[in-house]
Structure 1
């Protein structure tokens, strides 16, 4: 019986996990799937490394998504709403080269890493861009969450 309880305790400890994922309290993660045809003029900039495109279609994320080609066959997609406050009138970011800028506070984020580039050193918690999955299939890039 002693071995049974030891075994049960071991199973309990192994099955418990510590989810260290930091969920953003400002942005709700919505499910979506959207295809970008690279043959269309609207998305042709994605054929070149470092040219970001804003996808503002309804049903794509909360406020749309930014997509960028980072290497020969790698694409990144990020939520277009600023991750450091609830969505509002000024929270849809704008493209500035290979970065995006939130017009509410002026925070800048890299589209290659998703990281906030000008994080204040004030002890508060700041979030990086919300990442979406981006995969290429032929001449189509599929972004999804």
Structure 2
């Protein structure tokens, strides 16, 4: 449930903290979209400790040696149950939250909709075919 602040501030609440400590093998068939520039893969929250972010992680390949990772929880009304960012199904050129219709570039920046903050980014590190994603 969203409410207006009586203090006159338009500040949105921040996305809650959740641990992210993931390692994926880029040769695994389930990550085949990451073999191409601008490929996007969705990683779910994993394990009983909930590692993998608040609502999962989006991984974007920029090029063969550079990957970006973002929280799937939209920064606009992050406590809404439907606040979930995914690759836009029709264009596959940007990320979109179907709940509030905020749109983000594949670099995580706001390109449309009510969101004013970019997607929460996580650190990535590539060692051979192993991509580590941490916060």
Which one of the candidate residues 101, 104, 108 is aligned to 2:99? 104
Q: Normalising by structure 1, what TM-score? A: 0.73
Q: Which has the higher strand share?
A: 2
Alignment of 1:43-122 (within 5 A): 43-58=31-46, 59-96=51-88, 97-111=92-106, 113-119=107-113
- Report if aligned partners of 2:23, 2:133 keep a CA contact under 8 Å in 1: yes
Equivalent pairs, count: 117
- Report if aligned partners of 1:53, 1:66 keep a CA contact under 8 Å in 2: yes
Alignment partners' CA distance in 1, 2:18 and 2:85: 18
Alignment partners' CA distance in 1, 2:93 and 2:56: 17
Alignment partners' CA distance in 1, 2:74 and 2:53: 12
- Report if aligned partners of 1:46, 1:53 keep a CA contact under 8 Å in 2: yes
Query: What's the CA shift for 1:119?
Result: 4.9
Q: Which has the higher helix share?
A: 1
Query: What's the CA shift for 1:89?
Result: 2.3
Listed as ranges, the gaps of 5+ residues in structure 1 are 1-23
Which one of the candidate residues 23, 28, 31 is aligned to 2:16? 28
Listed as ranges, the gaps of 5+ residues in structure 2 are 1-11
Query: What's the CA shift for 1:40?
Result: 1.0
Secondary structure at the counterpart of residue 67 of structure 1: strand
